[in-house]
Amino acid sequence: MPETAARLRHHRTSPTKVRQVLRLIVGKDVADAREILRFCERGPADTVMKLLDSAVANAEHNDNVPEEELFVTRAFADEGPTAKRWRPRARGRGTRIRKRTSHITIVVARYEDDALEQRRKREATDTQAQRASRRRRVAGSQKKAEREAAREAEHDHDHDHDEHDHDHDVEVVEEVEEVEEVDEVAVDESEQPSDPEGATPGTPASSERDHEVEK
């Protein structure tokens, strides 16, 4: 089984921190490893991603192995030289600062023929299942859209019917108010006092009759 490696030396990160990221991708194929590193929140994840791309490019260029047939067989980080620095502290003392470095190595290899055949069969089965699931989701979405359209049409019909009833009720109320106003006018006219001789108080005929009575 041919292997292809990519190395990064003197990376300014502690090997302990880098190993936490490398453990996530060991044994994974290239696509899964990239997906894991893309969503990893660790600091060295970006550097490990670039190193993985370099290892895949080396395998494609030097060994003519396509990316789909590669997986991460090994990944490790060795301790590099440590730079010593000093930090001043109280009473004239100093505290040592250790700036650690690491040498990172990623090794990719090609799957065996049997493993590749199993992966192709599994991918074909998964593809068929995904297609069937997609058809079911599409059919369900179409049925849901049809139900919502029918519900909206029914709602619009009920709304139009309610508006028609409301307009009819308004017309009836206006007619009732007009009838009440006419009745009130008739009652007011009937309640006004009338003169026996057909003359109302304050008219000229009524004034002449009152003057004759005084005489």
Helix (H, G, I), strand (E, B) or coil at 88: strand
Does domain 3-111 fall under CATH 3.40.190.10? My reply is no
Q: What angle do CA 70, 73, 78 make, to 5 degrees?
A: 130
| Chain-centre distance for alpha carbon 67 | 33
Query: Would you state the pLDDT for residue 119?
Result: 80
Q: For residue range 154-209, what is the model confidence (pLDDT) as tens digits? A: 877 666 666 666 666 666 666 666 666 665 656 555 655 555 444 445 455 555 55
pTM listed for this prediction: 0.57
Cβ-in-10-Å burial (0-12, 13-18, 19+) of 142 comes to: exposed
Query: Would you state the pLDDT for residue 198?
Result: 47
**Contact present, 104 and 80 (Cβ < 8 Å):** no
List the beta bridge partners of residue 84. 98
Domain boundaries, the chain: 3-111
**215 pLDDT above the threshold of 50:** no
